[in-house]
Structure 1
Amino acid sequence: MEKRLNRTDLGFSLAFLLMLVIAIGAFFYGVKVGTERAAAKQQEQNAAKDTTAKPAPNAYQQQDLVSFYHTVFLPYREFQSDFFKAQSKWSGDPSADLSASLKELAKTADAKYETISTAYVPVSSPLLKDAQNDYLKSLKLFSESFASQASGANKADAAKLMKNLQANAFYTDGLRYALSGQNAYYRSMLKWGATVNTEFPDDFKSPASLDLSRWKTLSLLVKNKVIADYLSENALFTEFLPQDLTARIDEFIRSGQAAKMKQTSLRSIAELLTGTDAVRSGDFLDSKTKLYGREQLPQLPFFVPDK
């Protein structure tokens, strides 16, 4: 005769089955939620990385570029200017207190870091956000490199100090991020150009070799981006801006010097001009009216001559 389950056993059995059903349901629900969250996170990461995707309708507007200039680019340039002035003083004054100078530069970098870190940059313009982040990293690394070299700086001369800095990983990374930030800013100008003129490309990949016939066909915004690439690739941290080298190259070609010297590639001319210290900050403004009167440019202070 079969043994019947009493009420207690039946209750335990039903409770067990109910718990089993709940556990299985919770498991599959957890898998579903986890999968959805992972997919959403991956989409966010892809969106953050894909700065070449078509920008949002309100991205890279004139006011975004101008605001970035005043709140991020200009403070960084002020630090950069102080650094170049310090280098000039080190070279020209053997009695200069190198240690004190480095400590002061570290303080300046920290102060500019605080200024730039509080600047608002719209997330709708990711290249500008990239530039801001790169400039911040650069300032932090430069500050650390200057502080690390300050204690023993007065035991060396200016040449030895610069050699020590150039061998310092913080310094070289700071330089690299500075040029990366500059590159992102000039790429953002291309994005702006594409919003005001559909014939403008919104990006341009610099070829390994660019002959002068191709260079002459490029718009000024594209040329500046190519030069920003060149400066970044060659770790040229300079007082002049990309448009200054662009102008010197175009003037070199226009004057007939390129043909006379049988220079046929952009790189060869860029190397000649930078290698002979033939480019100065402000060269673009000196040549703007003559060379670029019809070019479309964002109304940024470094593109507009003082009146």
Structure 2
Amino acid sequence: MEKRLNRSDLMFSLAFLLMLVIAIGAFFYGVKVGTDRTEAKYAEEPSKAAAADSQPNAYQQQDLVSFYHTVFLSYREFQNEWLAAQNKWLSDPTSDRSAAMKELAKTAKRKYDAIKGVYVAPISPQLQNSQTDYLKSLKLFEEGLGELATTANEGSPQSTLDKINANSFYKQGLAHALTAQQEYFASMLKWAETVDMDIQGDFVSPDVLSISKWKSLPLIVKIKLSSDFMSQQASLNEYLPHDLTAKIDQFINSGQADKRKIKSFNAIAELLTSTEAVNEGYFVDVKTRFYDNQLLPQLPFFSAGK
């Protein structure tokens, strides 16, 4: 005779079956979650690697070229106008210096506005710093030239230039302009470091650099050192650091350094700049003679077709 299950036994059996179903379900759910997480992890790693690969590198050649056309040339156009105005005043004392200075102040403002709108990626901080210093320079030149324009026709052209050179706005603007140039050429050395591992991107010259050490340096390092030297001279020049570099090498190669018993890069640079022996474009004139196959970024002022 069959034994009937009482109510408590039936409830116990149903509860056990329910717990068994829940346990089995929880097991398979845990397996699925673990699988999904593992798959997601391995799917994420290539994505992260791809994202890292897509990040731009600092100081790429295209950044140097873009900076040349959008920032450097804009500033140089102002500087060239300013240097041309000075030469005109000295050669023609009757020229209207006041009108010229007012126009130069307007030019500085236009160039400031043009450069301010240029985007320079923060991944290349020295290029960003160079842009900032060019902007500060133009703003200060605008202030200084505008301030002195009304009395510029008084006295001789040289007295006008003396007042400008003594003006605090102008002196600060000059310092920022030279620093901006120094930072731009330092950026080129940073680029060279990414191309040639033997080049030290943060090379700093000793206080006195011997000629023998100078001769052993790569061209791009020499140019950076020339820009450092020029930044300390507190004067605007038509020539550029590579023109000074080429003139120094010519001076050494011609035997003039030995003849004059000059022992350092610093002394040669002082002599050449103080005697106005460096001309704009000299580097291009002697490039094929001195610098065949030397590493340089492909910038217009390093070639004859600039």
Task: Compute the TM-score of the two structures, normalised by the length of structure 1.
Answer: 0.81
Separation (CA, whole Å) in 1 of partners of 2:145 and 2:288: 41
Q: CA deviation at 1:156?
A: 2.0
Q: CA deviation at 1:60?
A: 0.3
2:88 paired with 1:89: yes
Aligned to 2:178: 179
Matches within 5 A, 1:34-73: 58-73=57-72
Aligned to 1:194: 193
Separation (CA, whole Å) in 1 of partners of 2:204 and 2:236: 21
Separation (CA, whole Å) in 2 of partners of 1:226 and 1:171: 25
- Which whole-Å deviations, capped at 9, do the CAs of 1:210-231 have from their partners, x for residues lacking one? 1100000111111111111111
Quick check: 2:272–2:278 contact (8 Å CA) kept in 1? yes
Matches within 5 A, 1:126-137: 126-137=125-136
> What amino acid is the match of 2:64?
L
Aligned to 1:145: 144
Separation (CA, whole Å) in 2 of partners of 1:234 and 1:155: 28
> What amino acid is the match of 2:233?
N
Aligned to 2:239: 240
- Which whole-Å deviations, capped at 9, do the CAs of 1:176-208 have from their partners, x for residues lacking one? 000000010011001100111111111111211
Q: CA deviation at 1:129?
A: 0.3
2:213 paired with 1:214: yes
Aligned to 2:99: 100
Separation (CA, whole Å) in 1 of partners of 2:105 and 2:56: 40
- SS of equivalent to 2:203: coil
- SS of equivalent to 1:155: coil
> What amino acid is the match of 1:111?
R
Separation (CA, whole Å) in 1 of partners of 2:56 and 2:147: 46
Which structure 1 residue ranges, 5 or more long, are not aligned? 1-55
> What amino acid is the match of 1:162?
L
Separation (CA, whole Å) in 2 of partners of 1:200 and 1:125: 18
- Which whole-Å deviations, capped at 9, do the CAs of 1:79-112 have from their partners, x for residues lacking one? 0100010001010001100100100100000000
> What amino acid is the match of 1:193?
A
Aligned to 2:229: 230
Quick check: 2:105–2:145 contact (8 Å CA) kept in 1? yes
Quick check: 2:154–2:160 contact (8 Å CA) kept in 1? no
**Farther-moved stretch of structure 1 (225-234 vs 241-250):** 225-234
Quick check: 2:251–2:257 contact (8 Å CA) kept in 1? yes
Separation (CA, whole Å) in 2 of partners of 1:125 and 1:67: 13
- SS of equivalent to 2:216: coil
> What amino acid is the match of 1:254?
N
- Which whole-Å deviations, capped at 9, do the CAs of 1:68-87 have from their partners, x for residues lacking one? 00000001011010001000
Q: CA deviation at 1:236?
A: 3.0
Task: Compute the TM-score of the two structures, normalised by the length of structure 2.
Answer: 0.81
- Which whole-Å deviations, capped at 9, do the CAs of 1:39-61 have from their partners, x for residues lacking one? xxxxxxxxxxxxxxxxx861100
- The percentage of counterpart residues that share the same residue type is 54
Quick check: 2:164–2:170 contact (8 Å CA) kept in 1? yes
> What amino acid is the match of 2:68?
Y
> What amino acid is the match of 2:81?
D
Separation (CA, whole Å) in 1 of partners of 2:250 and 2:56: 37
- SS of equivalent to 1:123: coil
- Which whole-Å deviations, capped at 9, do the CAs of 1:141-183 have from their partners, x for residues lacking one? 0010000100111112210011101111100000000000001
Separation (CA, whole Å) in 1 of partners of 2:109 and 2:70: 15
Aligned to 2:278: 279
Q: CA deviation at 1:237?
A: 1.7
Separation (CA, whole Å) in 2 of partners of 1:168 and 1:146: 9
Which structure 2 residue ranges, 5 or more long, are not aligned? 1-54
Aligned to 1:258: 257
Q: CA deviation at 1:294?
A: 1.8
Aligned to 1:305: 304
